[in-house]
Amino acid sequence: MTYRRHRSYAGGLQAVILDWAGTTVDFGSFAPTAVFLRLFEREGVPITAVHVRLGMGLMKKDHLRSILELDDVRERWQQVHGVWPDEHVVDTIYADFEPLQIECIADYADPIPGLHETISFVRSQGWKIGTTTGYTRPMMEALLPAAAERGYAPDAWVTPSDVPAGRPYPWMCYDLAIKLQVSPMHAMVKVGDTLPDIEEGLNAGMWTVGIALSGNMLGATLDEFSVLTGDEILTQRVAILRRFYAAGAHFVVDTIADLPRVLDEIDERLRRGEHP
């Protein structure tokens, strides 16, 4: 007789993998936006926050490349500089970007409201906390102490500098699974405010949660968000939810403050033998 063996993990959630800007710190995800706007202005090819936010979540050099690949940016670059932006242009601008981002990144380390309470909840359940990011290792080495001073320090962190490629590839999540000693991959949940965050988690075989209102998708400061009317928030939320769910997100919450109830549901579903 021929048998096929099937095992179904039912051990519950083990780890939560969080993004940084727009998810845990830097409400509205403004640190990369500010630097990109400054650099392109310096080059005589001013861009808007909309241009910058299209590639948010990617490793920063890939993010820069994505901006220069936008048709209107490419055309204006050619008009101003007489050449089409190529890899030499990417390398030249990025050489200025990284030190500027490192210089200012600690200014964007304020925790998003609800972060500390959610971290306390995660730790009370015995779950581990890891992070992935579009920031490089030198950038994170400047951000981590500033975040720790404000009360946030994950158990482990990985950057695109540490693996073959950043998002949407799953390598940072795989590296974190080793560092946190978690198995299987679907015992972890990936949380982030960009579509590349969702792709990263799905490619790693994890549950995924999108952050709708505190990050890149809305792109508002905390002060700007606080004066939005209920109808304005609802309109924005609906549009953002559609984008996240179309990308494959399993859940979407407004901010990290709303994460515990979703983590409870994921834990319960895992214990029933469900997989993402």
Q: Which residues are catalytic?
A: 19, 60
Q: What secondary structure letter does DSSP report for 177? A: H
Whether residue 102 contacts residue 87, with contact meaning beta carbons closer than 8 Å, is answered with no
DSSP 188: E
Looking at residue 155, what DSSP letter applies? S
Give me the helix-helix angle, 60-68 and 87-104, nearest 10°.
130
Q: Show Cβ contacts of residue 151 under 8 Å, excluding neighbours closer than 6 positions.
A: 111, 116
Look at residue 101 and give its three-state secondary structure. helix
Q: CB–CB of 166/172 below 8 Å? A: yes
